[in-house]
């Protein structure tokens, strides 16, 4: 892939306060790090390496997507970035953008400026010129002033030719460095400055969370690039035939019947259709792509595994499940008496409010294979949104 992103999130962020590190805290209803990953994905950076502290491995699993790699960080930021670069080196991209996980408001426009600058430079980074007066101080008193001419406030993502920055890190002596630009310049790389963004703040102090929340609310239904909300709709369809047995798994509920549905897994036609609807909304293929039937480990698998994976994948990409709707098509068994239990089960698996889950049934008026009671079909629709 042409460009990959490294998201550095292995620090502890003690200055921000709170019981957990700042990147794992809630920011206006969504985890800071989830916002950062989603913002980069919205800017076209889908191949991501997330660098975390070993203690955060369980938390990170909720963010894992099909093109995300998790790497453990080190004692310093530079060690953490080096670990991520080495992980990418097994299948190197042409370019890499390195971003602070605590900058959740990065815009697609800023990312595009950095990427465009790399067409003409081996390194490029966003920054804003310093406009305030600068003082030197001690013991709470002003001790002097400093010229601000030619000074910039550095931001991320900082972009590089992959081979060049990997070589720079390998040559680095391991001393602490303020950022990736410092290491690049130590290796002799020229770094182009591109226009930064005042809203691209790094969450450092407790008050930064309040400011970030205000900026998010001011955007309203805006996406990270300032455009409209990203709303996705996906459809799923599945069929399973009847065979010997004494019950059917339908939308996570075992419904008594004189036959069972046949399939490689537990043949839950409702959950299969719904999983495919979510994958479809994400443009992530279908169940077979993520859980190949050729893999024996999925033989007889319970279908809640598929739906949970699809729902978690949507959240990892920054989406919220708006609502889901499943229609089961069969003559028998009768679905009505079990519909509420199915709604509750789907809601539990996908971690949705039951009010956002619909399960209903219809017949095909004795026509076709469902009318002849040879099997059951299911249709499903899922709506996702991402601010």
Query: What distances in angstroms separate CA 23 from CA 11, 48, 60, 178, 280, one per listed residue?
Result: 9, 16, 11, 19, 30
Query: pLDDT of 256-270, one tens digit each?
Result: 999 999 998 899 999
Quick one: pLDDT at residue 7?
96
Q: At what angle do helices 269-281 and 304-316 cross, to 10 degrees?
A: 20
Quick one: pLDDT at residue 46?
87
DSSP readout, 59-113? HHGGG--TTEEEEE--SSHHHHHHHHHHHHTTS--SEEEEEETT-TT--HHHHHH
Weakest mean pLDDT among 51-60, 128-137, 254-263, 374-383 = 51-60
Give the pTM.
0.61
Quick one: pLDDT at residue 175?
81
Token pair 């996702």 is found at: 384
Query: pLDDT of 307-344, one tens digit each?
Result: 999 998 888 787 888 899 999 999 999 999 999 999 99
Rounded CA separation 377/361 (Å): 10
Query: pLDDT of 158-202, one tens digit each?
Result: 999 999 999 999 999 878 899 999 999 999 999 999 999 999 999
Quick one: pLDDT at residue 300?
86
Q: Is pLDDT above 50 for 236? A: yes
For the chain, domain boundaries: 3-219, 230-386
Q: What is the mean pLDDT of residues 220-244?
A: 77
Query: pLDDT of 292-316, one tens digit each?
Result: 888 888 888 999 999 999 998 888 7
In CATH, 3-219 is 3.90.76.10: no
Average pLDDT, the chain: 90
- Say which CATH class 230-386 falls into: alpha beta
φ, ψ of residue 140 to 5 degrees: the values are: 75, 15
Percent pLDDT > 70 in the chain is 94
Quick one: pLDDT at residue 225?
45
Q: Is pLDDT above 50 for 227? A: no
Quick one: pLDDT at residue 200?
95
Weakest mean pLDDT among 28-37, 62-71, 112-121 = 62-71
Q: Is pLDDT above 90 for 287? A: yes
* Degrees, nearest 5: CA angle 182-109-132: 55
SS3 of residue 194 by DSSP:
strand
């Amino acid at each position: 892939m042409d460009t990959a992103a490294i998201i550095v999130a292995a620090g502890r962020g003690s200055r921000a306060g709170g019981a957990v590190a700042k990147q794992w805290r809630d920011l206006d209803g969504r985890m800071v790090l989830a916002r950062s990953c989603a913002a980069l994905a919205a800017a076209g950076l889908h191949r991501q390496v997330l660098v975390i502290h070993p203690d955060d491995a369980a938390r990170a699993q909720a963010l894992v997507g099909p093109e995300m790699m998790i790497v453990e960080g080190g004692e310093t930021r530079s060690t953490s970035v080096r670990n991520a670069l080495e992980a990418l080196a097994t299948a190197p991209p042409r370019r890499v953008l390195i971003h602070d996980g605590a900058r959740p408001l990065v815009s697609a426009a800023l990312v595009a400026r950095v990427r465009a600058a790399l067409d003409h430079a081996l390194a490029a980074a966003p920054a804003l010129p310093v406009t305030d007066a600068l003082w030197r101080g001690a013991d709470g008193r002003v001790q002097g002033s400093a010229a601000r001419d030619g000074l910039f406030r550095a931001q991320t993502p900082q972009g590089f030719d992959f081979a060049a920055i990997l070589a720079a890190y390998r040559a680095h002596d391991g001393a602490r460095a303020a950022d990736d630009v410092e290491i690049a310049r130590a290796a002799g790389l020229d770094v182009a400055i591109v226009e930064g963004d005042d809203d691209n703040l790094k969450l450092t102090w407790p008050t930064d969370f309040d400011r970030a929340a205000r900026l998010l609310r001011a955007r309203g239904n805006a996406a990270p690039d300032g455009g409209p909300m990203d709303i996705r709709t996906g459809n799923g369809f599945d069929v399973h035939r009847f065979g010997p047995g004494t019950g059917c798994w339908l939308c996570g509920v075992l419904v008594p019947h004189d036959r069972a549905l046949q399939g490689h897994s537990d043949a839950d036609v409702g959950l299969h259709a719904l999983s495919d609807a979510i994958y479809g909304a994400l443009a992530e293929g279908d169940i077979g792509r993520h859980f190949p039937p050729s893999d024996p480990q999925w033989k007889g698998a319970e279908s809640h595994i598929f739906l949970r994976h699809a729902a978690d994948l949507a959240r990892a990409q920054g989406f919220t499940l708006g609502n889901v709707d499943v229609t089961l098509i069969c003559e028998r068994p009768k679905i009505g008496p079990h519909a509420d239990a199915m709604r509750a089960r789907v809601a539990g698996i996908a971690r949705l409010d039951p009010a956002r889950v619909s399960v209903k049934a219809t017949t095909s008026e004795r026509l076709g294979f469902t009318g002849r009671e040879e099997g059951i079909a299911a249709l499903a629709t899922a709506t996702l949104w991402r601010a």
